[in-house]
């Protein structure tokens, strides 16, 4: 692969560590980045990343709404004894 550069490997490492949910400060120590700005320059956000984040957000909101609906539709203790 003659077109492969060291920075391509570094970028892949940052993206793989981020995808694996490694905390940024830990990933920075692994990749040797001293500042968050430089680390973020190597982190490429893809359309798949955005889609996954939207799906996770939707699932979290749906769970909160479902729990709220369940709480409000449950009979009150005073109603259960009548």
39: CB partners within 8 A, 6+ apart: 14, 24, 27, 28, 31, 33
pLDDT surpassing 60 at residue 72: yes
pLDDT digits (tens, 9 = 90+) for 13-67: 999 999 999 999 999 999 999 999 999 999 999 999 999 999 999 999 999 999 9
* 54-71 tens-digit pLDDT: 999 999 999 999 999 988
């Amino acid at each position: 692969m003659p077109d492969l550069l060291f920075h391509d490997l570094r970028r892949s490492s940052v993206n793989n560590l981020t995808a694996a949910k490694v905390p940024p400060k830990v990933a920075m120590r692994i990749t040797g980045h001293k500042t968050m700005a430089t680390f973020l320059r190597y982190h490429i956000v893809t359309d798949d990343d955005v889609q996954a984040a939207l799906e996770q957000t939707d699932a979290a909101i749906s769970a909160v709404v479902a729990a709220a609906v369940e709480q409000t539709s449950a009979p009150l203790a005073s109603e259960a004894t009548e």
